[in-house]
Amino acid sequence: MIRFLLRRLAFLLVSLMGLVAITFVISHVAPADPAALAAGPDATASMIATIRHQYGLDRPLPVQFLRYVGDLARLQLGHSIATGHAVTADLAVYLPATLELVLLAMGFAIGMGITLGILAAVRREGLVDHFARIFAVGGIAVPAFWIALILQLLFSVYWRLLPIGGQLPVAIAPPRPITGMVILDALLREQPAVASTALVHALLPAFVLSLPCLASILRITRQEMVEVLQAHYVRTARAQGIAPRRVVTRLALRNAMVPILSMIGLRFGFMLGTTVLVETVFDWPGLGLYAVTSATSADFAPVMGATLAIGVLFMLATLVVDLLYAVADPRIRVS
């Protein structure tokens, strides 16, 4: 198991270096001049040159890259040209909000996706199965921003059941940060009313964000469970009189979990990178909105910081999934 973990960590390190190189190159081949944009339309050439020198943009690319890697080793991601804030400080504010939304969406997608997938496989060609297959296609095909607007119109405007956006009402002060996640911090600060209010605000955006992931998990769970339930060892277990629920949950589901875990890991990374639309529609102060705002102003340090943060989280999620592979199927440890 230790050798398996070391191999995965070595692969993660190589992937991280590749991500650092790619983000640096992309940010420096863009046609926009961040120094000119930061100086403003009325800036003189000397003012632009001063800003370019201040941020090290006048040095050769290899020197800039080595400096960038050295700063990363010290967890220094530079400063935003537009605001002057340290990117690390901005990420500490925006990243927890995105993680809170993504974790809620992922929890909903895993719980509902696996449950519906099992029911669809067990009751194959039944009403649940037909609904699951239609939902699996529609959840991926329908644009997230359209669903978000429709749900806002129904639940917030017409029925007034849920808030239209934001993390908390203006009149409610957020809890003093511990993790940066409002719901978790409110629970840790023993403020259940604030936690419940924040959860209500997160329901719609988390549900919309979860739909593609839910549909994918549902589809792969149904597919794998249908195949496993037809295996000889499952039929033998049923013939021996083992309870049907135990056969499905203990025997069949465990043998179908490796592809399901793969889908969960992939969808977690995709969800981190696609929160922009949901955060924009629901006015959610997260990392996606921060990255897009920085990109439109050619502020590359925040864009690289946000990209690295999402990439590292994606890699860590992949590492966790690899370790869960080894738990679900011990044969993978020696591969």
pTM for the complete prediction?
0.86
Specify the pLDDT at position 40.
Answer: 67
**84 domain-assigned:** no
Q: Is 39 among the domain residues? A: yes
Evaluate whether residue 78 is within a structural domain: no
Number of domain units in the chain: 2
175 in any annotated domain: yes
Residues 51, 193 within the same domain: no
pLDDT at 331: 64
Asked if residue 271 and residue 131 are part of one domain, the reply reads: yes
With respect to residue 131, please indicate whether it lies within any of the assigned structural domains: yes
Q: What is the mean pLDDT of each successive set of 10 residues along the chain, which is 335 residues long? A: 79 88 76 67 79 78 84 84 84 93 95 95 91 90 90 94 92 93 95 96 95 94 93 89 89 88 88 86 88 78 86 87 76 59
79 within some domain: no
Cα distances from 228 to residues 206, 223, 254, in angstroms, run 31, 9, 10
- Give, as one character, the DSSP assignment of residue 154: I
- If asked whether residues 96 and 234 sit together in one domain, one would say yes
For residue 24, what are the domain limits?
A: 2-73
For 106, residues 6+ apart whose C-beta sits below 8 A from its C-beta are 210, 213, 264, 267, 268, 271
Last residue of a domain, one of 73, 99, 115: 73
Q: Is residue 86 part of a domain?
A: no
Best CA proximity match to 279, nearest among 112, 144, 80, 87: 144
DSSP-based three-state secondary structure for 177: coil
Helix orientation angle between 300-328 and 87-122, rounded to the nearest 10 degrees: 40
What is the model's pLDDT at position 187?
A: 95
Comparing CA positions, the residue from 136, 124, 135, 165 lying closest to residue 148 is 165
Q: Could you count the other beta carbons within 10 Å of the beta carbon of residue 153?
A: 12
Same domain, 98 and 204: yes
Do 43 and 174 share a structural domain? no
Do 253 and 106 have their domain in common? Answer: yes
Q: What pLDDT score does 1 carry?
A: 66
Nearest C-alpha neighbor of 183 from the set 196, 164, 165: 196
| Residue 83 located in a structural domain | no
Same domain, 49 and 100: no
Judge if 24 and 151 occupy the same domain.
Answer: no
My answer on whether 127 and 47 are in the same domain is no
Say what the pLDDT of residue 129 is: 93
Domain shared by 124 and 196, yes or no: yes
Q: Are residues 51 and 120 in the same domain?
A: no
Same structural domain for residues 112 and 229? yes
At 289 the pLDDT is 81
CB hemisphere CA count around 256 (13 angstroms): 27
